[in-house]
Amino acid sequence: MPLDRLVLILVIVVLAAMATVWLGALVAASASFPFGLALLLPASLLAYVIWRVVADRIRSRDDDHYDRME
């Protein structure tokens, strides 16, 4: 992948993350709900992604490094 395309993707991702945080802060400030509830959704999404990665690595026979050792 060319360096300019990689930098463009990184800039777009960072700008999208900043816009998401800004909009989330506006919504959180206007709704006045508990802070723990605001952290619950990202924490649950992160836990789900970690669970899927671990489960995929445990179940995958093609990715098992120790089966190919002699």
Pair (47, 57) in one structural domain = yes
Pair (52, 24) in one structural domain = no
**Rounded Cα gap, residues 22 and 31, in angstroms:** 14
Q: How many domains does the chain have?
A: 2
10-50 residue pLDDT tens: 999 999 999 999 988 887 777 776 767 767 878 898 899 89
HSE-CB at 24 with a 13 A cutoff on CA atoms is: 12
Neighbours of 38 (CB within 10 A): 15
> Is pLDDT at 61 greater than 70 in this prediction?
no
- 9-37: buried (b, 16+ CB within 10 Å) or exposed (e) per residue? eeeeeeeeeeeeeeeeeeeeeeeeeeeee
Domain of 9 in residue numbering reads as 1-32
Pair (40, 27) in one structural domain = no
Pair (44, 70) in one structural domain = yes
pTM above 0.85, yes or no: no
